[in-house]
Amino acid sequence: MAASTTSDDLQLKQMIERLRELGQDCLRAQSTGEVRAALDRHFGAFPSAALVTSEAVDIAGVGAEWIQAPNADHYRTILYLHGGGYAGGSIASHRELAARLSKAAAARCLVLDYRLAPENPFPAAVDDATAAYQWLLLDQKYQPTRIAIAGDSAGGGLTIATLVNLRDKQLPLPGAAACISPWVDLAVSGASALTNAERDALVSRDILQMFVKMYLGDRDPRIPLASPLYADLRGLPPLLIQVGSSEVLLDDAKQIGERAQAAGVSVELEVWPNMQHVWHWFAPTLDKGQQAIEQIGGFIRQRTQAPA
């Protein structure tokens, strides 16, 4: 037990050091391009988790990439919406995570390079995610019950915003959704933004407010499709939410889970002790990261099974 604890502590320490370095790089950045480069540099360097295949595709002018583990069920798919504050992140920064998720869920994974702010502010990301889901239905002929939407950080908020948008457009909803460390309140009103300020190695109010300015400009940060914490959540599919107890966004995850459950949504909320923002990124070197991905995979497999 002592050896295991020592190993866990070392893995956690290494993750925190890397996240602090990334956070400092983002705050020092002189341009949006430098922020994006920092994200790709820090998270695009992990080797592939499995012998996955990949294929670039174009969805109405928006880039995407199919990532498929050898065990993937061709009739099950995940639309993956990457994080990065709506102004950064890419297929490159999330390819490793998507590869591991494809294997864990036994699903093809479509990682969407949705348009980024500030060049393409709200609602560009929501529009692109909605269009990609419709492409899966109409062009790729997937059954909605065999699709899951998943995302991390801003992509977790975008996941819920996309579900709300699909429901409001009266489109068939996916079988499930999973949110990793979701950012759902662009007003940054949660108490954990202050209480976890010293514990969170990456996310801070300053970083969040920088991204809000890029994505929304001077618009109301409580617009429901930008901040789905303020949306009507009735009728959404089963939802898995994972968050670390050390995160600035801890209250975002807890509150969206509570509101969704109050609206009648089936919700599984997991608070992982001592984990940092999107610890799944570190699955190659962090056991808890891989364990969390396996949890998501099991959730998606169970809720996107073929009808009997």
The CA angle 22-25-27, to the nearest 5 degrees, is: 110
Dihedral of CA atoms 242, 33, 128, 110 in degrees, nearest 10, equals: -60
What are the tens digits of pLDDT across the range 95-154? 999 999 999 999 999 999 999 999 999 999 999 999 999 999 999 999 999 999 999 999
What per-residue confidence (pLDDT) applies to 159?
99
Q: Where are the domains of the chain?
A: 2-303
Catalytic residues: 153, 247, 277
β partners of residue 63: 58
Domain 2-303, architecture per CATH: 3-Layer(aba) Sandwich (3.40)
pTM of the model: 0.95
Q: What burial letters (b/e) apply to 139-169, b meaning 16+ CB within 10 Å?
A: eeebbbbbbbbbbbbbbbbbbbbbbbbbbee
What are the tens digits of pLDDT across the range 200-245? 999 999 999 999 999 999 999 999 999 999 999 999 999 999 999 9
User: Picking from 4-8, 64-68, 276-280, which range would have the lowest pLDDT averaged per residue?
Assistant: 4-8
Q: What burial letters (b/e) apply to 125-134, b meaning 16+ CB within 10 Å?
A: bbbbbbbbbe
